[in-house]
Amino acid sequence: MSDADQYQLPVNRGPKPRNQRLRRGIYLLPGMLTVANMLCGYYAVLATLKGGIPDLDHAAGAIGIAILFDSADGWVARATGTSSEFGKQLDSLADVISFGVAPAFLAFAWGVRGMLQSDAGPARHIFQLGWLISFAFVICCAWRLARFNIQGMAPGGSRYFVGMPTPAAAGMIAATVHAWKAPIDDWRWAAAWLALVAGLAALMTSTVRHYSFKDIPWTRRQPSLAVVLAALLGGAIVFYSEEALLLIASSYTLSGITLHVVRVVRHRLVSRPA
């Protein structure tokens, strides 16, 4: 090696190409969407604490917007190839706030808190049961997210989730509050409401499969009818949000239960001896 080669100064490569800088910075986009999801959950908790009817409706709306951000961050991360283990864990923590803590607060404030002003005998017991079931909802949400991080989707592909997704369970609570708005003041309805919240919590930790919509080729050419149906659905959500969102949330919840019942019945018929 010559002296010139030995003491040659490192070559200044200059600024990195624009595409490399873009690839480094694009990791911020899924993270920003995840933080926006978390912000919606935080706002939903603050609005619930105010307790007014418009505040509860705003909290339900914030949970609905959080669902959109949660769907967007995963889609953007997969589409841009910026998925990471850190983003996966951050997304789960955000989901605990937006789809665990926030809907639990909302479910308690809208469906149970009015029992303190009721003179009925069972009302106080319903109130005490309410905070317990709301806390169970938070636990089941965290349980569902931890299991998903370890096990992933249902075996055999990505068409189904194992257990009800946490955004869907939170969306069912938010859609119900948005549809009726006025808080519950009768202990019978409060008991039915707690049964629904407990059922959603159980579905999250169950093995009941729910369709994931991940096998739909969103980026490919679709039939014209699909575009028309999507436009009609969007219009229904804009102009008839109370009825449309409640129908969507209820249909998705019942679809998983119905498919599970059909699968169990079919399995028993097949395994029955001739």
The string of pLDDT tens digits covering residues 104-122 is 999 999 999 988 887 777 8
Over residues 49-62, mean pLDDT: 96
Tens digits of residue pLDDT in 136-152 = 999 999 999 999 988 87
Q: In the structure, what pLDDT confidence band is assigned to residue 250 with cuts at 50, 70 and 90?
A: very high
- pLDDT attached to residue 80: 80
218 burial type by CB count under 10 A (0-12 exposed, 13-18 middle, 19+ buried): exposed
3-class secondary-structure state, position 160: strand
In percent, how much of the chain has pLDDT > 70?
87
- pLDDT attached to residue 243: 96
Counting other chains too, the contacts that 138-142 makes at CB distance below 8 Å and 24 or more residues apart are 138/96, 138/100, 138/101, 138/104, 139/201, 140/201, 140/202, 140/204, 140/205, 141/95, 141/96, 141/99, 141/100, 141/104, 141/166, 141/169, 141/170, 141/201, 141/204, 142/96, 142/100
Whole-number Å distance between alpha carbons of 128 and 249: 27
State pTM to two decimals: 0.86
- By DSSP bridging, strand 160-162 and strand 209-211 are antiparallel
| 63-72, 181-190, 200-209, 216-225: least confidently modelled range | 216-225
Q: In the structure, what pLDDT confidence band is assigned to residue 220 with cuts at 50, 70 and 90?
A: confident
CA atoms within 13 A on the CB side of 20: 4
Averaging pLDDT over each range in 11-15, 24-28, 239-243, which range is the top one? 239-243
At residue 6, does pLDDT exceed 70?
A: no
Residue 263 sits at φ, ψ, to 5 deg, of -65, -40
At residue 62, does pLDDT exceed 90?
A: yes
CB 200 within 8 A of CB 133: no
Mean pLDDT taken over the chain: 86
Domains and CATH numbers, the chain: 17-271 (1.20.120.1760)
At residue 175, does pLDDT exceed 50?
A: yes
